[in-house]
Amino acid sequence: MKKLLALAAIGMAVASGQALAHGETAKHGGIVQESSAGISLELVSKDGKTMIYVEDHGKPVATTGASGKLTVLNGSQKTEVALEPAGDNALASKSDAKIASGSKAIAAITFADKKTASVRFSVR
């Protein structure tokens, strides 16, 4: 019975999108997703500013020389903002990305070594 309950709990976490990549946790209060390249991105939107924090298995990934784009879908409204380096392992938008509950966001990042990472976020 305990195994069945544990499996049900895991299934509900995965279905709700709360499962985290490689056990990564949101260190900045955002939403964590893993790219197909194995890099974890954390989307944080606070006070009209949007940040993406980048890690690889819990270790910060340098964003110097990186660039990116964040596309946010709010119903039929689409907003695109550029992402620029903003610290050791972060990228930030210069303008408001207009992220709200129910939004979908797609981050596409190109690092200085020309490797790319992209993920899709569902904002609750």
Instruction: Enumerate the domain spans of the chain.
Output: 20-122
Cα separation, 116 vs 30, whole angstroms: 21
How is domain 20-122 classified at the CATH fold level?
Immunoglobulin-like (2.60.40)
Per-residue model confidence (pLDDT) at position 68: 96
Per-residue model confidence (pLDDT) at position 4: 44
Per-residue model confidence (pLDDT) at position 24: 66
Per-residue model confidence (pLDDT) at position 92: 96
Per-residue model confidence (pLDDT) at position 5: 44
Q: Which residues of the chain have pLDDT under 70?
A: 1-24
Per-residue model confidence (pLDDT) at position 111: 96
Concatenating the DSSP letter of every residue in 13-70 gives HHHTT---GGG---SSSSEEEE-TTS-EEEEEEETTEEEEEEEETTEE---TT-EEEE
Neighbours of 103 (CB within 10 A): 20
Per-residue model confidence (pLDDT) at position 120: 97
Per-residue model confidence (pLDDT) at position 98: 87
Cα separation, 79 vs 73, whole angstroms: 7
